[in-house]
A and B are shown apart, each in its own frame.
Chain A
Amino acid sequence: MSTETAEARPDGLSPSQTVGPFFHYGLTPGAAYGHVPVSVDGQVAAPGTPSEPIVLTGRVVDGAGDPVPDAMLEIWQADSDGRYAHPDDGRPRASNSFTGFGRSDTTAEGVYRFTTIKPGRVPGPGGREQAPHVLVAVFGRGMLKQLFTRIYFDDEASNAEDPILALVPAGRRPTLIARRDGDTFTLDIRLQGGDETVFFDV
């Protein structure tokens, strides 16, 4: 077979490179670069989305325990019925307005923040339902590729039967479970060191 054809199978993936320190005006322009259009931000659910509104927040810290002021988090989650706004989730959804996708940079204190809704339970491997969770990708200066982790919720009894949490050593599971205070769930992301966040090989 010739490899010269236009439809040749690629030799491999395009490798990842760091997002670097200067991504903000391109990816999270916000008010600081008001003339740049915003693709997606930390407001995942518009006010009034018919579900339980929550705030997801926490700090990103490095191996020295210092805040990471130039990280970026992206999250992906189901709606409150546990359905994804994606054609491969063929189940009907109550509303099409919720995309389930958000992006937040970190502040000078390393803080990320999303306003969203509590997701529902979603199908898991072997027909077992997963506990409500949010998939997270962490980018940053000094990070050559994104790290994947999850955020679970401390008020969900179904965490005990979640098939993904079950694969995590019990002592490290708390690094994935956000703590509730009012409508705010807080979870720090520790890139390295004591209480290092569990990151997934996916």
Chain B
Amino acid sequence: MSLVLPRSSTVAHPPSLHPAYTSTVLRAPREPLVLVPHTLTELTGPVYGQGKVRDSDADLTTQHAGEPQGERIIVTGRVLDEDGRPVPNALVELWQANAAGRYVHVRDQHPAPLDPNFTGAGRYLTGTDGRYRFTTVRPGAYPWRNHHNAWRPAHIHFSVFGPSFLSRLVTQMYFPGDPLFPFDPIFNSIPDEAARNRLVARFDLAVTQPEWALGYQFDIVLRGREATPTEEPHEH
């Protein structure tokens, strides 16, 4: 085994407590985290089987009888480890609001229309090149009750598995130039500006398909890299 998961890399993540996002106030631990070594338990993780994900899971515009409303887009990118190597067989799950900013979720009360032709859930299992690719519609911004006149920038929720259970990542992809960025406490919970910007997809004319759909690139970097010969994979 040669996987290492440096703790120092996790500085990219937001803190658990970010009072501007008010729901963190009662849900962030107050006690210090207990430092423990990485054992076989932490260095392994679920391996998702080939054949469980269907090609149709990756096209959110063809899951119903008709086509969804909105701006059709292609979202593609690579799942990478910290060395920049592709992560193959990575399960990528996504979910999102429809073009009007409404989730199909039973608890979403935003008075924007549901779209009978859009659920907004998809899956992809990366190949050897670590690449995933979805066809969907651009989600709308939506209001929430965090503070007065609070609106989330348009985003797509991503859930990704990597080489170990500690590589597991749930995040959100944003769209370039969104005017709501300065006002969003979730986006701004990420302390470092460069790290924040890694969650903003890049418009790519090469992915864009003529007369069909705009294309965006969004690479996802997960914890884990190859140990150098002087490194112990287990932190004893």
Is the interface on chain B under 10, 10 to 19, 20 to 34, or 35 or more residues? 35 or more
Question: Which chain A residues border B36 with CB–CB below 8 Å?
Answer: 164, 167, 200-202
Question: Known contacts A16-B14, A144-B15, A192-B28; is A10 also within 8 Å of B236 by CB?
Answer: no
Question: Which chain A residues border B234 with CB–CB below 8 Å?
Answer: 125
Residue among B26, B187, B220, B234 with the most chain A CB within 10 A?
A: B26
From 52 to 103 in chain A, residues with beta carbon under 8 angstroms from any chain B beta carbon are: 62-64, 66, 68, 74, 76, 78, 84-89, 99-101
Question: Known contacts A10-B84, A144-B16; is A15 also within 8 Å of B21 by CB?
Answer: no
> In the complex, what's the smallest C-beta–C-beta distance from B144 to chain A, in angstroms?
9
Tell me if B104 counts as interface (CB < 8 A to partner A).
yes
Instruction: Considering the complex, give the chain A residue whose CB is closest to the CB of B82.
Output: A10
The interface of chain B, by Cβ under 8 A from chain A, is: 1, 3, 5, 7, 9-16, 18, 21, 23-48, 52-54, 57, 63, 80, 82-84, 91, 93-95, 103-108, 119-121, 123, 157, 159, 165-166, 168-172, 186-187, 189-190, 192, 194-196, 198-199, 219-223, 234, 236
> In the complex, what's the smallest C-beta–C-beta distance from A200 to chain B, in angstroms?
5
CA distance A202 to B175 in the complex (A): 31
Question: Which chain B residues border A23 with CB–CB below 8 Å?
Answer: 95, 157, 159
CA distance A168 to B48 in the complex (A): 32
> In the complex, what's the smallest C-beta–C-beta distance from B112 to chain A, in angstroms?
13
The interface of chain A, by Cβ under 8 A from chain B, is: 7-27, 29, 32-33, 35-37, 39-40, 62-64, 66, 68, 74, 76, 78, 84-89, 99-101, 122-126, 130, 133, 135, 137, 139-148, 164, 167-168, 172, 191-193, 196-202
